[in-house]
Amino acid sequence: MIENAGRRAADLIRRYAELPYEVGIVLGSGLAGLAEDVDDPVRVPFSAIPGFPRVAVSSHAGEVVLGRIEGVPVVILSGRAHYFEEGNAQAMREPIAAVAALGCDTLILTNAAGSLRSEVGPGEAVLIADHINLSGINPLMGEPTDRRFVSMTAAYDPRLRADILGAAEREGVHLTTGVYTYLAGPTFETPAEIKMISRAGAHLVGMSTVPEVILGRYFGLRCAGLSSVVNFAAGMTGADISHKETKELAPIGAVKIERILRRYLRDRR
C-alpha cells in the first residue's frame, strides 16, 4: 500500500522524467558523488516536491536525481533528512513512499558510519547485514493500523545482499558485512556507549538509515544498506570524532560503493 502523499510526489517527479523506475538509492554524507554516474540526469530539488523534507546537514545536497545507471532507471535521493534535525521520526516518509510509488522494487541506502572493528578502518565499505535500533524512535509510531507491525526478520534482503556481495567480488572491491547500530545523534557516542554496543554485537554506528529501512519495508521495498567507514568509534583511538572527518573521508569508501553499485546494476539485467 502506498499512501496518497507518496503518489502525489511521484506524479510530480514523473513530470520531470517518466521512466520505468526500478531502484531507489539514498546517498548519505559525503556520498553525493554517486549521482554523477547517472546518464542524462534530471535534477529536482527536494524543495520543489510537496511533503519532501528540508535538508539542512552540510554535505547533503537535498535533490532527487533521475535517470539511468548502466541502463537501469534509478531514483536517487541525494541527501537525507535525519531525526535529529527536527525531532521528526518520519522525516523521510514522503521520499521513501515516492520511491515505492514510482514503481521501484529495491531501495539501497548509503551512509557514513563509525566502525567498531579495529580491522575495518576509514575508507572501507561495509554491507549492512542487520541493525540494532537504540534510538528509541520508530517512524511507524502513531500508525493507526495493524500494518505497523512490520517484520524486521529479513529487513536487509538476503537475496539482494548476496547479489551485492557477488557484484563486489566480481568487481574486485573488498566488502565486509556488519551489524549497524542506530543512535539518534546528533552528538557522537561516548566511549562507554561504544563498549556497550560492541558487546551487543554491533560493528558499525551511525545516525541514519534505520528509519528509512523501516519505511522501506512498510512500503514493500527490498532494502540494502552500505556504509562508508569514516572513523573508528569513540574511545577506540585517542582521537576525537568530527563531522569534518566524515565529509573528508566518506568519499574514499564512496568510490568503492559506487563501483559495487554500478556492477550490481549492470548485472541486474
Q: Kindly tell me which of 176 and 231 has the beta carbon lying closer to ligand HPA.
A: 231
| Segment interacting with ligand HPA (CB under 6 A) among 10-18, 36-44, 60-68, 109-117 | 109-117
Q: What ranges in 58-181 are assigned the alpha helix state H?
A: 83-86, 93-101, 158-171
- What is the nearest approach in angstroms of ligand HPA to the Cβ of residue 14? 34
Nearest position to ligand HPA, beta carbon: 114
CA nearest 128: which of 170, 149, 156? 156
**Under 8 Å between Cβ of 116 and 204:** yes
Residues 187-206 that bind ligand HPA (CB under 6 A): 188-189, 205-206
Query: Binding to ligand HPA by residue 226, rule CB under 6 A?
Result: no
Q: Kindly tell me which of 61 and 207 has the beta carbon lying closer to ligand HPA.
A: 207
Cis peptide before 139 (omega within 30 of 0): no
Question: CA 49: distance to chain centroid?
Answer: 20
Burial class (CB in 10 A: 0-12, 13-18, 19+), 5: middle
- What is the nearest approach in angstroms of ligand HPA to the Cβ of residue 192? 14
| Segment interacting with ligand HPA (CB under 6 A) among 2-10, 48-56, 106-114, 144-152 | 106-114
| Segment interacting with ligand HPA (CB under 6 A) among 89-97, 215-223, 229-237, 254-262 | 229-237
- What is the nearest approach in angstroms of ligand HPA to the Cβ of residue 43? 26
Q: What ranges in 81-132 are assigned the alpha helix state H?
A: 83-86, 93-101
Question: Out of 57, 63, 231, 257, which residue is the one contacting ligand HPA (CB under 6 A)?
Answer: 231
Angle between helices 93-101 and 4-16 (to 10 degrees): 70
Q: Kindly tell me which of 52 and 188 has the beta carbon lying closer to ligand HPA.
A: 188
* Rounded-to-integer distance, Cα 268 and Cα 78, Å: 22
What is the contact surface with ligand HPA in residues (CB under 6 A)? 112-114, 188-189, 205-207, 230-231, 233, 241, 246
